[in-house]
Structures are given as C-alpha cells and as structure tokens.
Structure 1
Amino acid sequence: MEISSTMSCRAKSRINASFTVKVRGVDAAGKDYEEDAVLDNLSASGLYVRLPRNLEIDAEVFTFICLSSGHSSKTAPAGVAASGVVVRSEPQLDGSYGVAINFKRYRLL
C-alpha cells in the first residue's frame, strides 16, 4: 500500500492499494450492472477504478470495498459500503474505462 503525497490538485491524499471493490448501478446504455474490480486508488472523498463499461457522469452508484482478504462463510467481510456519483469516466487503451467516483455517504462494516 502506498500513500501518494502529491497534493497539487487534490484536496485529499490517495491510497494506492489493490482492494477488491464491487460496483453496482446503471451504465451509460441504461442497463443494470454489478461488476467486481480492483481499486486503483482510494481517498476519504472517493475512489478510482477501471471497469469494462462506460458510466455516465453524475450516475449514482453503490460500491462495497472489501478490506479483509480472508473471511469465513459465517461472517461477512470487513469493508466500506458507499454510495456515490460518477465524476469522470475515461476510455483506456485496453478497452476498459477509468471511473472516478465521489462518495456521498459511506459506512464501515
């Protein structure tokens, strides 16, 4: 895990970590989706993740960031549940989309 100290344009520090994240919402084509992905970075105000689909700016999404690597089937994984809004969705060279999500609410579980 690496904490970025580059604060030139950002109000919050970024944590570059490979936590898994589940993203759920409606894509740019109007279809419901649920995707599992790996975070590129995380801050107190949002996250950045690469997804195989384009999301509309201002689209509302739900995310669950899994903070535990191992859990039994009897206990839920530790994580952060968050609702947020897409603030950026950019096509990448590999065909995926880099999606920035700004948190509206979050809760540690």
Structure 2
Amino acid sequence: METQTTTVRGERRSKPRVDCAYSAIVRGRARNQEKFQEPGRVLNLSVSGLYVHLKRSVEIGRELLIAMWFEPTRQVAQTPTIVMRGLVVRAELLADGSYGVGLKLEHHRFL
C-alpha cells in the first residue's frame, strides 16, 4: 500500500502532526532565567516535535523537559507515560494571555 504526504504551502514540518489534548508537566527556564515547573497541555504531537500551551513565555532556543500522560483524564500525580526533551522553536502570546510553544524534540523515553 502506498502512502502520500501532502505539504501545505509554507509548511516546514517534515512529519505529520496529530491533534491531541494531553496533560503535561513542563520544566525549564523562563525568559528571566528562573527555573520553573508548571502544568501544560500538549495540543499536537509528532515524531519530531510538539506544541504545548503554557502560562509563561520561554525564549526560542531554550531547552524544555516535558513529562506527558497519554490519557487526558489521568492524574498528574501518577507516573507519566513519556518524558521528552526539546528546543523551543516557536513561542507566541495567545489571546487568553497564555503562550503557545513549539518544540523540536531531541530525545524521548517511554516509562
């Protein structure tokens, strides 16, 4: 069976993304250099990257650690399903005052 990939004009992603809404804990350094850990929500995911909503802004090029649960209703206190490390390649202020952050994944580990 042959598969086809359609590229949207201007789209730079090389791997398809899957829309989702997974709970996550995000760790890293904010723009003011302070370490942070806060809940986030992963809204799309691929083999090479992800997009997460955060309450704070982070700089492009900054490394973040994401602990994510594949079950949207799972309690954050339980062991995450996967831990990922990536570099911020996009950060944008959203209408509700939160931030949308795109990461290029460098490493992941299923738990």
Under TM normalisation by the shorter chain, which class is it? 0.7 to 0.9
Q: Partner letter of residue 7 of structure 1?
A: T
* Equivalent residue, structure 1, for 2:99: 97
Question: Relative to 1, partners in 2 of residues 1:65 and 1:6: Cα closer, same or farther, differing over 3 Å?
Answer: farther
CA distance in 1, matches of 2:6, 2:59: 28
Consecutive unaligned residues in structure 1, runs of 5 or more: none
Q: Which residue of 2 aligns with 1:7?
A: 7
Percent of residue pairs bearing the same amino acid type: 33
| 2:91 corresponds to 1:65 | no
Q: Which residues of structure 2 form unaligned runs of 5+? A: none
Contact 1:56 1:89 in 2 (8 A): yes
1:32-59 CA distances to partner (integer Å, 9 max, x unpaired)?
Answer: 1111111111111111011111101100
1:34 aligns to 2:37 (yes or no): yes
Q: Which residue number in structure 1 is paired with residue 89 of structure 2?
A: 87
| RMSD between superposed Cα atoms in Å | 1.9
Whole-angstrom distance in 2 between the partners of 1:70 and 1:29: 32
CA distance in 1, matches of 2:53, 2:6: 21
Q: CA, structure 1 residues 6+51, in 2 after alignment: closer, same or farther (shift >3 Å)?
A: farther
Matched-pair contact (CA < 8 Å) for 1:67–1:77 = no
Name the counterpart of 2:22: 19
CA distance in 1, matches of 2:67, 2:28: 12
* Cα distance change, pair 7–78 in 1 and its aligned pair in 2 (3 A): farther
Q: Which runs of 4+ in 1 moved over 3 A?
A: 68-71
